[in-house]
Amino acid sequence: MASIPAERSAGVFERLPYVRSITVFLLRWAARIGVFFAIVFLWEWWVDSGRANEVIFPAPSSIWDALRSYFTSDITLDSWLFFFQPFFREHFEATILETAIGFGIGTAIGLSLAMSITMWPVIKPFLSDYIVAFEAVPKVALIPLFVTWFGIGHESKIALAITITFFPVFLTAYTGMNTVPEDYTRLVTQLKSNRFQRMRMLQFPHSLPTVFAGLKQALTNSLIGAIIAEFFGARVGLGFLISIYSFQIRTDRLFAVLIIISALALAFFLLLDLAARRLCFWAQAGSSDVTNV
């Protein structure tokens, strides 16, 4: 019997972990896809068999038709959302605008507060109680107030998105900035660095993994806040569409809008996760796991 050369057998064994990881990855995705199609099949069968009222519980095929109606095959490059029908594009752009502005301003406020309290701890007793008290207020209760102040335009939705966004960013940033290892802090102190240099070179970079965990939550919260605010008074937006379809009992189109919102939130999450992996490549596995929340 011919024997396998030692070098060849060693190469086979070295490749075994890689092959095993690929196999596990494919099996996991096959299981996920299989479960999805099983649910869709049972759902379709349940509605088609007459066990559910299709008006209030539409079949997946009806939802798919409604979802396709939002997209167009007549592609014109007059907008970055060229793949949407013009009527839907307006609502999608409005929600994206409110989410982006609210998230940007809320993030800036949260980071600024965290950096200020970290660099000047003396102001913490004066601000922390107000920040916690404001966070304890149900944000939905603020919507009528914002509508009264800013009207039913984009401004009231942006205001709610800001209030929902800033606290997760503030909390994770402050936590990351104040959990720097003592050895690092002692080193920069011995180098005669001032508080701004410590923030720029040590505290802010160290907080990035936890900050990105907060940003992931804040961005999805910003989207949710903008949509919820559109329920209470708006002329345009995905939340406005949901309200209209709910009153019209067009549940197939309502489900389609919810699917698009879920896909949008997932895209936001994945973009931030990618940014976290690129910017926090230096973080050790133990500290960077927080970015995988």
Note whether 20 and 163 are same-domain residues: no
What six digits make up the tokens of 290? 């927080």
Helices (H) and strands (E) in the chain, counts: 12, 0
**Residue whose token pair is 């890689």:** 18
**pLDDT above 70 covers what percent of the chain?**
85
Q: What is the mean pLDDT of residues 209-238?
A: 89
User: Which amino acid is residue 15, in one-letter code?
Assistant: R
In a domain? residue 61: no
In a domain? residue 152: yes
User: Which tens digit of pLDDT belongs to each residue from 228-286?
Assistant: 998 888 888 899 999 998 888 888 899 999 999 999 999 988 898 888 888 877 665 44
| Domain count along the chain | 2
In a domain? residue 79: no
Note whether 27 and 119 are same-domain residues: no
Helix (H, G, I), strand (E, B) or coil at 8: helix
Note whether 46 and 138 are same-domain residues: no
Whether pLDDT at 196 is above 50 = yes
In a domain? residue 182: yes
What DSSP string describes 141-158? GGHHHHHHHH-SSHHHHH
Mean pLDDT of the chain: 82
In a domain? residue 281: yes
In a domain? residue 63: no
Residue 257 maps to which CATH number? 1.10.3720.10
Q: Which residue has the higher pLDDT, 42 or 196?
A: 42
Whether pLDDT at 16 is above 70 = no
Note whether 177 and 287 are same-domain residues: yes
User: Which amino acid is residue 22, in one-letter code?
Assistant: I
At residue 291 the predicted structure's pLDDT band, cuts being 50, 70 and 90, is very low
In a domain? residue 105: yes
Note whether 153 and 210 are same-domain residues: yes
d(CA 247, CA 245): 5
In a domain? residue 74: no
pTM: 0.79
Note whether 121 and 14 are same-domain residues: no
What six digits make up the tokens of 144? 């009528």
Note whether 235 and 172 are same-domain residues: yes
Note whether 27 and 95 are same-domain residues: no
Q: Dihedrals φ, ψ of 247, to 5°?
A: -65, -35
d(CA 243, CA 230): 9
Note whether 113 and 11 are same-domain residues: no
d(CA 261, CA 276): 23
User: Which amino acid is residue 6, in one-letter code?
Assistant: A
Query: Looking at residue 293, what is its pLDDT?
Result: 42
Note whether 15 and 134 are same-domain residues: no
Residues of the domain holding 152? 86-292
Query: Looking at residue 100, what is its pLDDT?
Result: 93
Note whether 26 and 161 are same-domain residues: no
Note whether 23 and 115 are same-domain residues: no
What are 283-291's contacts with CB under 8 Å, separation 24+? 283/208, 283/209, 287/209, 288/209, 290/209, 290/210, 290/212, 290/213, 291/209, 291/212, 291/213
Query: Looking at residue 111, what is its pLDDT?
Result: 92
Query: Looking at residue 98, what is its pLDDT?
Result: 93
